[in-house]
Amino acid sequence: MAAQELFLRDGYEATTIRRIADLVGVSAPALYLYFKDKDAIMLALCDQTFRSLNEVMDGMEKEDVAPIARLRRCGTAYIRFALEHPRQYWLTFMSGNTPDKIKKRGHKPDTAGLDPEEPGAQGAIAFSRLMGIFREIENSGYALNYPVDTAAELVWMCLHGLVAAIINNPEFPWTRRDALIEGMLEVAVRGVVKMPG
């Protein structure tokens, strides 16, 4: 009953409720029986997409690698995911309609207390996961240049800045994309964790 949302791939923002209904083979107002409004539909679709990112990160959390390497891996996964699902990423983190509940809650209490079913939560969960890795890094005895929460925010902002720029200006003649990705990870890590020596 929710598989229908996969169809949006094409137009998306230009995707009208009537077109969705047509694709699903149902009349437009029928959608309002399942979703509050158009934003709810989009949110549900984004959540579904982000769920896969969170699963990937779940898996990574079990891997036994040095915490800083884990940060690199998770960062890469985050970036790649964002670039592979630009529209969902845009809607979740750049459209400007972040649901109020998540805004208020913040990341302090970790992912605990985040209801994964709540629409719009998946994006915040991915975000929180990245934060959690950072706490772990600090607990492993690495020295940071900033308080852990500030450090986490800074790193996330770096990654977000990279993908946001690329997503919003895909036709801009950026230099090699992989160089940018690798470079930004380096910049973020070097900037935040105090390197030995």
Tell me the β-bridge partners of 144.
Answer: 193
The one of a copy of itself, DNA, none whose footprint includes residue 149, by CB under 5 to 8 A per kind, is a copy of itself
| Residue 33 interacting with DNA (CB under 7 A) | yes
Site map 27..66 versus a copy of itself, x via CB under 8 A: ----------------------------------------
Interaction with a copy of itself in 155-184: which residues (CB under 8 A)?
156-162, 164-165, 168-169, 171-176, 179-180, 183-184
The answer to whether the CB of 107 falls within 8 A of the CB of 127 is yes
Size of the site for a copy of itself (CB under 8 A): 47
Tell me the β-bridge partners of 193.
Answer: 144
CA distance 93 to 110: 19
Q: What is the DSSP string of 87-150?
A: HHHHHHHTSS---HHHHHH-STTTTTT--TTSTTHHHHHHHHHHHHHHHHHHHTT--BSS-HHH
Q: Which is nearer to DNA, 17 or 144 (CB)?
A: 17
CA distances from 4 to 12, 44, 69 (A): 14, 11, 38
Q: Which is nearer to a copy of itself, 41 or 192 (CB)?
A: 192
| Binding piece for DNA, criterion CB under 7 A, among 20-28, 84-92, 118-126, 180-188 | 20-28
CA distance 82 to 61: 19
Helix axes 86-93, 67-84, angle to 10 degrees: 100
User: Site for DNA (CB under 7 A): which residue of 6, 30, 66, 157?
Assistant: 30
Rounded to 5 degrees, φ, ψ at 193 are -100, 135
CA 160 to chain centre: 9
The one of DNA, a copy of itself, none whose footprint includes residue 37, by CB under 5 to 8 A per kind, is DNA
Name the site residues for a copy of itself (rule: CB under 8 A).
Answer: 13, 90, 93-96, 98, 100, 103-104, 106-108, 145-147, 149-150, 153-154, 156-162, 164-165, 168-169, 171-176, 179-180, 183-184, 186-188, 190-192
Name the site residues for DNA (rule: CB under 7 A).
Answer: 15-19, 26-30, 32-33, 37-39
